[in-house]
Amino acid sequence: MRKKLLLILTGWLLLAHAFAQTPANLSGKVIDTSTHLGMKNASILLLHAKDSIMDQFTRSDKDGGFTLKNVDTGKYVLLICYPEYADYVEQLHITPDNKTTLGSITLVEKAHLLETVIVKQQIAAIRFKGDTTEFNADSFRTQPNASVEDLLKKLPGIQVDKDGKITAQGQTVEKVLVDGEEFFGDDPTLVTKNLRADMVDKVQLFDKTSDQAALTGIDDGEKQKTINIKLKEDKKNGYFGKLSAGVGTDQFYNTQGMFNYFKGKRKFAAYGTFANTGHMGLGFEDQMKYGVTGNNVQIMDGGGIMISGSGDDALSSFNGSYNGHGIPVVNSGGIHFDSKWNEDKDFLNLNYKIGGMSVKGSNSTDLQSNLPNGVLYTHTDDHFKKSLFRQKLDAAFEVKLDSMATLKINAGGSLSDNSTYDQYSTASDRGLDKDTVVNRGGRTIDNDGHDKAFTFNAFWAQKFHKKGRALTVNLSEYNKNSDISGYLYSKYDYYEDNEMTNSEVTDQFKTSTSKTNNLDVKATYTEPFSSKSSMVFNYGITSAKSNSDLKSFNKGEEGYTELDDTYSNHYLFDQFAHTGGAAYSYKDKKVQFNAGTNVSAVRYTQTNEYTGDALKRNFVNWNPSARLTYNFSSTNKVSASYYGSTTQPTVTQLQPVQNNSDNQNIYIGNPDLKPSFRNSFNASFWNSKVLNQRYFGFYGGYSMISNPIVTNVTTDLDSGKSVYQYVNLDQNTANYYGNFFYSRKLKFWDMGLGMDMGINGNKYVNFTNKEMNVTHANNYSLGLRLSKYKEKVLDCSLVFRTGYNSNKSTLQSQIDNNYWSYSLHPDLDFFLPAKFQIHTDLDYSYQQPTSSFDARKQTIWNAWIGKKFLKKENLLLKISVNDLLDQNKGFDRNAYNNNISQTYYTTIHRYFMLSLTWDFNKMGGAKKESATGVK
């Protein structure tokens, strides 16, 4: 412990030494050139000479005097402004031994001045354009050769974690576009980790809606938090990229490469990733786009039933997602091309990806289930090995047929092979002292799957001579074929008075084939009332069909030849929906408002081919929405929205198929389920002050579900088995979140300060052994961030977070599972002479013990030392260490309904690595001036 404290103290002493400057106080007086009198309230700005970023701002006093305090040595530009007077500009070079008194500075009225100096107007760091938040990239300083990810970390309201996951305004960013277009599909990290920060002009943050919603003004709930990277015009010609190779101890390696060639309105890019260090770059985040998710998944665009294998999927398959559990091995690559021509009337976007990924490791979970008549403790170990190989091709083509008509076509397909192997062992005990054995057992699942998926979408928009009048038609189709086969073996022993009484054994071979086809057609018509308001009407039909055939064979004397009728089934799903709606929209410079509703009439049929039985349902979905945004100015806005949605029960909740993949958890259907309705309210507020670089914001939401569908669980304390059924609740459930954040630049040491305070809460309700269990779960958090930047000297930050987690259930309320958590994250970069650089970052986390679990703490310390070569310092040789203290143990703690669990899992541990990284860049065009640049 002393060594750790000494190392941390040494780092902070180095940081304090780097901060140590020779500050000077600059004083002067602003006077009128004619009257020689002092000028009150003149604006005095001190700008860094290199990048024109503001260092300090003040105003002159009643006599015209002013003082700029604690100015570091360096080169600056002094800018003084006063209404009706010409701006004063002077170059300053502050050294330890030069004068600190600027004397009298005279300003001349514009009427008497021949312009000899032109000052470019300062551009706001943040602007609001409707529902889009726009950051001016040059207002946020980054080190040379920094990536877009480094830039995003400095933007208020945006967080980037160690894996590159981006969170903005409390929501995960799912898309990162480049100049408004997809770049390698839906893989944000390929943009953020490989594009250079100095190429970026603007960063735009917004909620991307569907093409239909954008034109109709009706909120259909299909939104993706999106970042658009707008490139500088002079950075759109030439090539750039990155090559990196590293070899480490314990057989860790990381090799990545990316090449980008931009020429005007054409872009070409290629990448490759070969690594087992957790650096994905594989783009499997978009697996849902083509349904590569396993068996029997349909999500209906018309607001109908979702057909899902959740909870009863006897043949689960691997979808290629990596959540930090296990050791991943990735081999992947891809190419991208997009181009505009014919005066931007035609556009083409092509992406091809190919790659394989495998993950292996283990999970160990302790689960506490609070029951009316006692407490059940279950310990589960899972050893897994999963893999996926996939090829995916998608294309987008847009053509402006004439000045009034546009056609967009998107098509894509994927082929994938996956395998899943899980070996579970389970032990359940009851009693507060875990002194009574309930069961012991385990199961093994070994599956192989093959998937083919195809999507097609055509969108046609026709404008008319009356401004604002338009007609659109959207046609989309989705097809997927899936084949899975595998083995299931399970054996459980049951105990009474700590003596084994009986056993259950399952040994089966299973096959599953499914075919899905969805077709959706929508038309919208827009009629303007004026230049600011309009009405939108829409109508559409949706058809969805699915064929699912599952067969289970028991093992006999001649192998797996005996068909098990209980756990075999063949279902046909058929759904047809009519959807119509209307919306009103108003928009001017200050106010944007829209409100509308959609109504869907759905007919659903499920047919059991084995028995001929059919389940038929007819229902109506209602989706009202409203949104209001008010822009006080380009840097100050408030927004509020409402969205209502009907949620129909899933097929698995109505009539789940029989399965025995986990005989400790059994699901039965409830054909009497009724739909629930969710009311969601959201609000946000943004305010920024350019001169002192202050940013303040709030975002929050509240959702209330009436007639919610909740679980009714019956758990047998004698066997440990649980039977699940879904029921409607006659009271509301709710969840809510809110976050305040504040950041500004401090004159003290030229530091950045950021603070945030948040709450996230839920009210869960379920039935346990016929008794209602109400759980209130809340998380309260407080965060503080300090940062310091000095080009080619240091770039560092310190983040501290604390939180309180409360979880109270009406069942076994005497058990206290509330706890405090703390985390500390310093991140330091020191730039030394001879082009050396030292980096170190540390993650310390602590979670208090509870009545159920012990305390949890760990310190993850990463560091590297490197030397840069070449004139542009774009070749970096470094020696790095991951998890220097070897404390990285995967850990999760979760609470839901009457259950609380704690999981330990395999994750990437300590290794040392030697690597070489080359950033190359040859972009044409003249260098663009910064936002506050002076000619």
Task: Give DSSP secondary structure letters for 706-753.
Answer: ES-EEEEEEE-TTT--EEEEEEE-SS-EEEEEEEEEEEEEETGGGEEE
Extract the tokens encoding 611.
């028995």
pLDDT in tens, 593-615: 999 999 999 998 888 888 888 88
Tokens 């025995």: give the residue: 660
Lowest mean pLDDT segment, chosen from 81-95, 293-307, 404-418, 769-783:
293-307
Maximum distance among all Cα pairs of the chain, rounded to whole angstroms: 112
pLDDT in tens, 22-65: 567 888 899 887 777 888 888 888 888 876 777 888 889 888 89
165-187 burial, b if ≥16 CB within 10 A, otherwise e? ebebbbeebbbbbbbeebbbbbb
Please determine, for residue 301, whether its predicted confidence score (pLDDT) is greater than 60: no
Task: Give DSSP secondary structure letters for 545-559.
Answer: EEEEEEEEEEEETTE
Report the pLDDT value the prediction gives residue 695, as an integer from 0 to 100. Answer: 80
Mean pLDDT confidence for 466-480:
92
Give the rounded percent of residues in the chain with a pLDDT score beyond 90.
37
**Please, are residues 33 and 108 in contact by the beta-carbon 8 Å criterion?**
yes
The torsion region of residue 874 among left (phi > 0), alpha (psi -120 to 50) and beta comes to alpha
Report the pLDDT value the prediction gives residue 234, as an integer from 0 to 100. Answer: 77
pLDDT band per the 50, 70, 90 thresholds, residue 214 = low
Please determine, for residue 697, whether its predicted confidence score (pLDDT) is greater than 90: no
Mean pLDDT confidence for 709-722:
88
Q: How far apart are CA 107 and CA 86, in angstroms?
A: 7
Report the pLDDT value the prediction gives residue 898, as an integer from 0 to 100. Answer: 76
Q: How far is CA 12 from the centre of its chain?
A: 32
Report the pLDDT value the prediction gives residue 135, as an integer from 0 to 100. Answer: 84
Is 10 buried (19+), middle (13-18) or exposed (0-12) by CB count in 10 A? exposed
End-to-end CA distance of the chain: 55
Report the pLDDT value the prediction gives residue 480, as an integer from 0 to 100. Answer: 94
Q: How far apart are CA 57 and CA 843, in angstroms?
A: 35
**Please, are residues 790 and 144 in contact by the beta-carbon 8 Å criterion?**
no
- The whole-chain average pLDDT of the chain stands at 82
Identify residue 532 by its one-letter amino acid code: K
**Please, are residues 397 and 357 in contact by the beta-carbon 8 Å criterion?**
no
Q: How far apart are CA 67 and CA 58, in angstroms?
A: 8
Q: How far apart are CA 229 and CA 339, in angstroms?
A: 17
Sign of the torsion angle spanned by Cα atoms 667, 659, 316, 576: negative
Q: How far apart are CA 289 and CA 411, in angstroms?
A: 11
Please determine, for residue 702, whether its predicted confidence score (pLDDT) is greater than 90: yes
Give the rounded percent of residues in the chain with a pLDDT score beyond 70.
84
Report the pLDDT value the prediction gives residue 325, as an integer from 0 to 100. Answer: 86
Extract the tokens encoding 714.
């019956």
User: To the nearest 5 percent, what fractions of the chain are helix, strand and coil?
Assistant: 5, 65, 30
Please determine, for residue 410, whether its predicted confidence score (pLDDT) is greater than 90: yes
Residue with the bigger pLDDT between 285 and 532: it is 532
Q: How far apart are CA 185 and CA 543, in angstroms?
A: 27
Mean pLDDT confidence for 738-752:
82
Q: Which residues contact 522 (CB under 8 A, 6 or more apart)?
A: 212, 473, 474, 538, 539, 540, 579
Identify residue 887 by its one-letter amino acid code: Q
Phi, psi dihedral angles at 287 (to 5 degrees): -60, -30
DSSP character for 196? Answer: B
Residue with the bigger pLDDT between 13 and 761: it is 761
pLDDT band per the 50, 70, 90 thresholds, residue 5 = very low
Lowest mean pLDDT segment, chosen from 321-330, 344-353, 566-575:
321-330
Report the pLDDT value the prediction gives residue 484, as an integer from 0 to 100. Answer: 94
Extract the tokens encoding 271.
């990448």
pLDDT in tens, 776-812: 889 999 999 898 888 778 888 899 999 999 888 887 6
**Please, are residues 334 and 189 in contact by the beta-carbon 8 Å criterion?**
no
Q: How far apart are CA 652 and CA 668, in angstroms?
A: 8
Task: Give DSSP secondary structure letters for 58-69.
Answer: EE--TTSEEEEE
Q: How far apart are CA 29 and CA 106, in angstroms?
A: 8
Report the pLDDT value the prediction gives residue 116, as an integer from 0 to 100. Answer: 40
pLDDT band per the 50, 70, 90 thresholds, residue 264 = confident
pLDDT band per the 50, 70, 90 thresholds, residue 112 = low
Lowest mean pLDDT segment, chosen from 86-95, 296-305, 544-553, 648-657:
296-305
Beta bridge partners of 584: 535, 595
Helix (H) or strand (E) holding 855: none
pTM, whole model, 2 decimals? 0.73
Range among 289-303, 625-639, 916-930 with highest mean pLDDT value: 625-639
Lowest mean pLDDT segment, chosen from 93-107, 112-126, 391-405, 707-721:
112-126
Report the pLDDT value the prediction gives residue 864, as an integer from 0 to 100. Answer: 95
pLDDT in tens, 809-821: 887 676 677 889 9
Lowest mean pLDDT segment, chosen from 159-173, 446-460, 773-787, 865-879:
159-173
